[in-house]
Amino acid sequence: MIPELGHFALILALCVCLVQGVLPIAGAHYGRREWIVLARPAAQVSFLLMLGAFVSLAWSFYVNDFSVQYVAAHSNSKLPTLFRFGAVWGGHEGSLLLWVFLLSGWTVAVAQFSRTLDDTMVARVIGVLGLVTSGLVLFILFTSNPFDRLLPAAEDGRDLNPLLQDPGLVFHPPVLYMGYVGFAVAFAFAIAALLSGRLDAAWARWSRPWTTAAWVFLTWGIAAGSWWAYYELGWGGWWFWDPVENASFMPWLIGTALIHSLAVTEKRGTFKSWTVLLAIGAFSLSLLGTFLVRSGVLTSVHAFATDPRRGIFILVLLLLVVGSSLVLFAWRAPKVALGGSFALMSRESLLLTGNVLLVVSCASVLLGTLYPLIIDALKLGKISVGPPYFNAVFVPLMTPVLFLMAAVPLARWKNTDVKEIALRMWIPGVLALVAGALVPYLMGGWTVMTNLGVALSVWIASSGVIQVARRLKSGFPPASFWGMHMGHFGIAVFAFGVTMVGGFQEEQDVRMEPGDTVLVGGYQFKMIGVKDVPGPNYSASRGAFEVTKNGSDAKILEPEKRTYFSSTMPMTEAAIDAGFTRDVYVSLGEPLEGKAWAIRVYFKPFVDWIWGGCFLMALGGLFAMSDRRYRLRVKESVVVPEAASPPVPKRGRLKGATP
Amino acid sequence: MKAKFLIPLALFAVLVVFLAAGLRLDPHEVPSPLVNKPAPAFKVTQLEHPELQFAAEDLKGKVWLFNVWASWCVACRQEHPVLMQFARQQIIPIVGLDYKDQRKDALGVLKRSGNPYDVIAFDGDGRVGIDYGVYGVPESYLIDKAGIIRYKHIGPITAEALEKTIIPLINELKKS
Amino acid sequence: MKIFYALMLILLACGGAMAKEAAQLAEDPVVEQRLIAISEEMRCLVCQNESLAGSRSDLANDLRRELRTLIKQGKTDAEIREFMVSRYGDFVLYRPPVKPTTWLLWAGPFGLMIFGVGALFVYLRRRNTDIAADSGLTDEERKRAEAMLQEGGK
């Protein structure tokens, strides 16, 4: 009964979303007030219906209803409750339901927190969100229904993929999707601006907190996924340039460009068309990512089970959403008046340069990800494009961005003197050069890459600290100031972590018997033994290792090798002792003869700085969002520093229509 | 409409064309670089007669089918009846490569389900498979009279593949 | 739990005779280093999302065994790559070889960067003249206005 209710709720939600998508936008266009005011209530109703659908699926998992095909495929009566909940989004159908549920959540949030925005604008934004949601719900209902019944019901489920049976599953997808989906809001604002012809600083001010929020979630979500892969997969890597990882990274790159571009549009009224294009781009990449992951077009460890019908449907959806927005862009954007002028050397132009570099980086990732497909489609052969390519290309492209990042906050709007900036940056410059040469040497091996990495992180971090110190002299700066510097500082921390772990990690693959020791990275690992341990839905061999440094600070690490009842592949659960300056990492390999085991031991210096840096970046975004000016209850039509572009004349001026 | 504002749309259109093309491709399939190249030489013992050997050049002058299989391979069981039928037609010799298998397991399968092969080479450690670029089982190679690989079939041979691709190719190769 | 381990450790320390420094799993660490370096840049053909270095599949084990033999025979990296490519095609290389079909791939990003920054430069120059032209001021007047804005802006 419950699954059917859920299914019905989803169908109703589709109807409401269609109304929500069509009427308010038409109302804004024709000036029909009664249609415009439908937007907010429609958003609220559709959210409640989506919530109902989602809860009924979650309930089916909770009570182990194996007559629902999706539940039978992804759950098991022995599956711990926490993972049963996570399993709701463990497969294609459920994760799509999560997608639309979160999208309706963002929509209702926009409806709630936009009381001071004029109704016509809100109508358009919510309308666009409604249309996108409708498209996705149609996709679910026609090709990916999580409520399909399995009759006769299965005795027991096939169990959740053991790789997913981890707290990371409960956290990573929802947070990541909040980011992916959140860019739909920026997208909707952009489309609303194009539709109304009102592309001004006020629009940018409204978009900005929503866009930053989505960016914060995406940053968090990607970092969570990376950390999860690190401790779950058992061999210490944290980024593989896998197509699905790239699919989340590309919107992040464009999103970063977008939040910087919005800053300029808000402050100076310039870059309007560019910002709109970026907003369309970010969400388009989210949709593209959805396509890549679910269509079977690329090989990926993350890819869901695929079906060509699904691929075609999403491609059509992608074509409609992105195609129509780009047509709208080509039509309306040329009519937007140019903003104010600025010199070739100014904060605006430097930010724009950073934007261009970020877009180029994103395009490179896209090129590398899709190249095998392009070559295959052109019948030119079959190639692979993997980490060696991406690392070789991405690092040089991002280096100028990192370099600029430290200096741009010092640049003035409209016109800036490069010499002046250079003078103010001499201390960070010296610190960077010294640290870049010294730190790798002290760590035991200097290379060009480690020098560069350390130098860039010190360059960014030290200039940030100096700028903050200087600014504090003239009073306590606003939240947005802290946000910017926290975000940039986060990047410095991230870059440092990547450089250190990449350059100085140590690894040993050894054969150990109880009592044996091995020395890695200054730490001594002593094997105590391995014993068999049962789990709720697996049986495991658990090892015990004593780790000491210089004979003291003893810690016990217990890696496991699990065989889940539902799968034949054994799973490694590494044991990690995480620390501020290093992780020590032990994982069990294969059992050898007698009591011996193949053991892999790692020393990873500063690896947690990678995710620490991401956390700081996200925190910076939160600070930026919480700036007072977004919380001011501004009732007037916002004071705009630059003249708003004149409204585009519609076919016939209708009474009461606010363009 | 200024032209430069159409650039994003144009780029997107190109992207969609490639994505649509991609839906019809299989990203997992690894085509063989050995097609139209000489079949790698090897000499191993035979499965059924371990005292005898088999070498690729033994069949020079004939068109033949080289089928890689194993007793532990599930998809091979799908393919087996098709091979049996093909063998009965006596069109060309079929040589099996028993890949990374145990002799008695392989012999057991043949006893139970029948033996479509004229001779079976035993590749216990998989070296021959590697030389032929085998990455999954079953895989089959069509080799011509001069010992050149002309076609590789990845996955179980189906009746359709036989009819549409393999047999016409065999007829062509036999003429030369 | 801790007590249990402490006891185990004491027992081991007493029994202690056989405890030793763990031996490398690999026969020859130098060969192994080279193997890891080479196979990390190759794709496992079975589980196509792992490198040949990391994959635990049968084929990966066999291929690593073959590569070890080749390394011991003194073959160069290029020869080893050729061994794999002649059997499995370019697909097996994670670092795409530079050939006409991949020129766009390798040159694209940097070309795009140069093009992007260059186009930006040209655009910004033209933009300022466009705006000046739009503004209806003469060149003289515009320069004076800019100068005034400069002073005010500081």
Question: Is the CB of C132 less than 8 angstroms away from the CB of A598?
Answer: no
Query: How many beta carbons lie within 10 A of that of residue A554, not counting itself?
Result: 15
Asked if the bond preceding A152 is cis, omega within 30° of 0, the reply is yes
Distance from CA of A323 to the nearest CA of B (A): 7
- C5 is a domain residue: no
Question: Is the CB of A338 less than 8 angstroms away from the CB of C94?
Answer: no
Question: Is the CB of A371 less than 8 angstroms away from the CB of C105?
Answer: yes
Domain boundary among C62, C80, C96: C96
Range of the domain at C85: 26-96
Question: Is the CB of B5 less than 8 angstroms away from the CB of A334?
Answer: yes
Question: Is the CB of C66 less than 8 angstroms away from the CB of B127?
Answer: yes
Contacts of B9 in chain A (CB under 8 A): 323, 326-327, 329-330
Domain count, chain C: 2
Contacts of B32 in chain C (CB under 8 A): 89
Distance from CA of A423 to the nearest CA of B (A): 39
Residue-level length of chain A: 659
- C90 is a domain residue: yes
Confidence (pLDDT) at A640: 44
Backbone angles phi, psi at A475, to 5 degrees: 105, 170
Collapsing DSSP to helix, strand or coil, A618 comes out as helix
Confidence (pLDDT) at A649: 44
Confidence of residue C137 (pLDDT cuts 50, 70, 90): low
Residues C84 and C105 in one domain: no
- Which residues of chain B are under the pLDDT cut of 70? 1
Question: Is the CB of C48 less than 8 angstroms away from the CB of B28?
Answer: yes
Residues C33 and C88 in one domain: yes
The topology under which CATH files domain A1-165 is Four Helix Bundle (Hemerythrin (Met), subunit A) (1.20.120)
At A544, which helix (H) or strand (E)? strand A538-549
For chain B, percent of residues with pLDDT exceeding 70: 99
Structure tokens at A653: 């001026």
- C7 is a domain residue: no
ipTM given for this complex: 0.90
Residues C31 and C84 in one domain: yes
- B9 is a domain residue: no
Question: Is the CB of C66 less than 8 angstroms away from the CB of B125?
Answer: no
Nearest to A341 among C21, C109, C128 (CB): C128
- C81 is a domain residue: yes
Question: Is the CB of C89 less than 8 angstroms away from the CB of B32?
Answer: yes
Interface of A with B (CB under 8 A): 273, 277, 280-281, 284, 291, 295-299, 308, 311-312, 315, 318-319, 322-323, 326-327, 329-331, 333-334, 370, 372-374, 376-377, 381-382
Question: Is the CB of A352 less than 8 angstroms away from the CB of C124?
Answer: yes
Distance (Å, whole) CA B12 – CA B42: 50
- C84 is a domain residue: yes
Residues C51 and C107 in one domain: no
Domain boundary among C80, C96, C112: C96
Distance (Å, whole) CA A407 – CA A421: 7
Who has greater pLDDT, C6 or A274? A274
- Which of B9, B30, B35 has the highest number of chain A CBs within 10 A, making it the mutation to test binding with A? B9
- C3 is a domain residue: no
Question: Is the CB of A382 less than 8 angstroms away from the CB of C49?
Answer: no
For residue A477, give the DSSP letter.
P
Please report, as a single letter, which amino acid is at residue A270: T
Domain count, chain B: 1
Residues C82 and C57 in one domain: yes
Query: How many beta carbons lie within 10 A of that of residue A555, not counting itself?
Result: 14
Contacts of A357 in chain C (CB under 8 A): 113, 116-117
Nearest residue of A to residue C44, measured between CA atoms: A384
Backbone angles phi, psi at B54, to 5 degrees: -135, 135
Distance from CA of C104 to the nearest CA of B (A): 15
Confidence (pLDDT) at A642: 41
Question: Is the CB of A315 less than 8 angstroms away from the CB of B9?
Answer: no
For residues A214 and A107, the answer to whether their CB atoms sit within 8 Å is: no
Interface of B with A (CB under 8 A): 1-2, 5-6, 8-9, 12-13, 15-16, 18-23, 25, 27-31
Contacts of C58 in chain B (CB under 8 A): 100, 126
Asked if the bond preceding A605 is cis, omega within 30° of 0, the reply is no
Collapsing DSSP to helix, strand or coil, A491 comes out as helix
Question: Is the CB of B133 less than 8 angstroms away from the CB of C59?
Answer: no
Q: For residue A494, which of A304, A267, A227 has the smallest C-alpha distance?
A: A227
Confidence (pLDDT) at A641: 43
Residues C92 and C105 in one domain: no
Residues C113 and C86 in one domain: no
Confidence (pLDDT) at A648: 46
**Touching C: B residues 94-113, CB under 8 Å:** 100
Distance (Å, whole) CA A388 – CA C80: 17
The set of chains that have 3 or more CB pairs under 8 A with C is A, B
- B138 is a domain residue: yes
Distance (Å, whole) CA B115 – CA B92: 15
- B23 is a domain residue: no
C97–B contact, CB cutoff 8 A: no
Distance (Å, whole) CA A569 – CA A542: 17
Contacts of B22 in chain A (CB under 8 A): 295, 297-298, 373, 376-377
- Which residues of chain A are under the pLDDT cut of 70? 234, 303, 305, 631-659
Mean pLDDT across C93-117: 95
- Which of C4, C9, C99, C137 has the highest number of chain A CBs within 10 A, making it the mutation to test binding with A? C9
Distance (Å, whole) CA B176 – CA C13: 77
Confidence (pLDDT) at A179: 95
Nearest to C62 among B130, B132, B136 (CB): B130
Nearest to C87 among B31, B126, B130 (CB): B130
Contacts of A414 in chain C (CB under 8 A): 149, 153
Contacts of A363 in chain C (CB under 8 A): 109, 112
Residues C141 and C82 in one domain: no
Query: How many beta carbons lie within 10 A of that of residue A639, not counting itself?
Result: 8
| CB burial of residue A609 (10 Å; 0-12, 13-18, 19+) | buried
Cα–chain-centroid distance for residue A137? Answer: 22
Mean pLDDT across C83-101: 94
For residues A624 and A205, the answer to whether their CB atoms sit within 8 Å is: no
Confidence (pLDDT) at A335: 84
Structure tokens at A449: 């890459």
| CB burial of residue A492 (10 Å; 0-12, 13-18, 19+) | buried
Question: Is the CB of A376 less than 8 angstroms away from the CB of B16?
Answer: no
Question: Is the CB of A363 less than 8 angstroms away from the CB of C130?
Answer: no
CA angle B76, B77, B82 (to 5 degrees): 85
Mean pLDDT across C123-135: 77
Confidence of residue C13 (pLDDT cuts 50, 70, 90): low
Nearest to A512 among C22, C90, C94 (CB): C22
- B158 is a domain residue: yes
- C8 is a domain residue: no
Helix, strand, coil percentages in chain A from 3-state DSSP, rounded to 5: 65, 10, 25
Question: Is the CB of C62 less than 8 angstroms away from the CB of B125?
Answer: yes
Which residue do the tokens 């370096």 mark? C37
Confidence (pLDDT) at B176: 72
Distance (Å, whole) CA B44 – CA B56: 9
- B69 is a domain residue: yes
- B13 is a domain residue: no
Q: CB within 8 A of B21, min separation 6: which ones?
A: A373, A377
Assign residue B144 the CATH number of its domain: 3.40.30.10
Nearest residue of A to residue C131, measured between CA atoms: A341
Nearest residue of A to residue C37, measured between CA atoms: A388
- C40 is a domain residue: yes
Question: Is the CB of C85 less than 8 angstroms away from the CB of B125?
Answer: no
Distance (Å, whole) CA A491 – CA A486: 9
Q: CB within 8 A of A165, min separation 6: which ones?
A: A79, A80, A83, A537, A564
Cite the DSSP H helix spans in A535-642.
608-625, 628-631
Residues C78 and C33 in one domain: yes
Distance from CA of B36 to the nearest CA of C (A): 12
Cα–chain-centroid distance for residue A161? Answer: 23
Distance (Å, whole) CA A510 – CA A498: 26
Contacts 24+ apart (CB under 8 A), A648-651: A648/A196, A648/A197, A648/A332, A648/A335, A650/A29
Contacts of A277 in chain C (CB under 8 A): none
Range of the domain at B54: 38-175
Confidence (pLDDT) at A261: 94
Collapsing DSSP to helix, strand or coil, A420 comes out as helix
For chain C, percent of residues with pLDDT exceeding 70: 83
Assign residue C91 the CATH number of its domain: 1.10.8.640
Confidence (pLDDT) at C139: 67
- B139 is a domain residue: yes
Collapsing DSSP to helix, strand or coil, A436 comes out as helix
Which residue do the tokens 């960067």 mark? C113
Contacts of A312 in chain B (CB under 8 A): 23
For residues A536 and A530, the answer to whether their CB atoms sit within 8 Å is: no
Contacts of A323 in chain B (CB under 8 A): 9, 12-13, 16
Structure tokens at A221: 């979500």
Confidence (pLDDT) at C14: 57
Nearest residue of B to residue C65, measured between CA atoms: B127
Distance from CA of B173 to the nearest CA of C (A): 23
